[in-house]
Structure 1
């Protein structure tokens, strides 16, 4: 019974995240927060020295339970702290999250995957598990290189496959930065083009 409720909560969280993001945009426009990058940064930075730690923590959680659509939280960090610093903070949070996902998958196995994935994504997940170690490595590299590919799902697969943690970390540390930077700058471009005048 408890697991069913938790599954529903995890399934509904991304939808709530999108709604919250839309509300935030509307609120931002009404208050002038989104009129410039400077006004948005000033608004978020009022939370002081804890803003960086809160952001990194949210990015970490984002990997396990996707609250916002991929890339949006990274852009928020870029707008808050500047492009380079925002990417670095986002990268740190996401790497920590991916490490946690790997070990949760190792420890709890498929039951953890069932808990956080929809039925459709779980079926995709099971198909990926059939690959040998080299296949998992290649798949992980490709999904990290291609923007908006399901790299979080592949990291979950790596936790259950025979891919050693050392190999997993090598691939993750090298290619995750490219992934974060690519979709971060792509969404930032769209944000600047269509939302901020």
Structure 2
């Protein structure tokens, strides 16, 4: 929704930059929040069903690192959930933040431009 709001409220370029910064900050803060407050924060932010789904990968740090990197590069993946799950893992802060910062510019730009064109096509903008 941030991508759509950025395009609607601002011109396209400013909207893309605004969306990129806000989404990246959101993912990084999600990771840091669970890193600092631990399992208590994680259990209040992520459902038990989802925790159980990823629990096997969380115990294997190499497997989770690969999974994290892959999921952050997928366009419609649950990035906030995977950032929450990375908090208690053995991944370094650098290994979490780097994929987020590298992935987001292209993804946000394509998504925002797509929504901008769609909204122009239907006459909303």
Task: Compute the TM-score of the two structures, normalised by the length of structure 2.
Answer: 0.80
* Match among 83, 90, 94 for residue 19 of structure 2: 90
Please state if 1:192 is matched with 2:120. Answer: yes
Unpaired runs of 5+ in structure 1?
A: 1-71
CA distance in 2, matches of 1:142, 1:107: 24
What does the per-residue CA deviation read over 1:126-147, in whole Å, with 9 as the maximum and x for residues that have no partner?
Answer: 3442332x33332222222221
Is the Cα–Cα contact under 8 Å of residues 145 and 175 in structure 1 kept in the other structure? yes
Please tell me whether Structure 1 or Structure 2 has the larger radius of gyration of its CA atoms: 1
User: Matched residue of 1:148: which SS?
Assistant: coil
CA distance in 2, matches of 1:146, 1:125: 17
The size of the alignment, in residue pairs, is 125
Q: Which residue of 1 aligns with 2:30?
A: 101
CA distance in 2, matches of 1:192, 1:131: 46
Higher alpha-carbon deviation: 95-104 or 186-195: 186-195
1:182: how far off? 3.2
1:192: how far off? 3.5
* Match among 113, 116, 130 for residue 42 of structure 2: 113
Q: Which residue of 2 aligns with 1:146?
A: 74
What does the per-residue CA deviation read over 1:55-106, in whole Å, with 9 as the maximum and x for residues that have no partner?
Answer: xxxxxxxxxxxxxxxxx22111122222221111111112222222112111
Unpaired runs of 5+ in structure 2?
A: none
Q: Which has the higher contact order (CA 8 A, sep 6+)?
A: 2
Distance 1:87 1:127, change over 3 A: farther
Task: Compute the TM-score of the two structures, normalised by the length of structure 1.
Answer: 0.54
CA distance in 2, matches of 1:111, 1:125: 17
CA distance in 1, matches of 2:60, 2:117: 36
- Please report the RMSD computed on the Cα atoms of aligned residues, expressed in angstroms: 2.3
Q: Which residue of 2 aligns with 1:50?
A: none
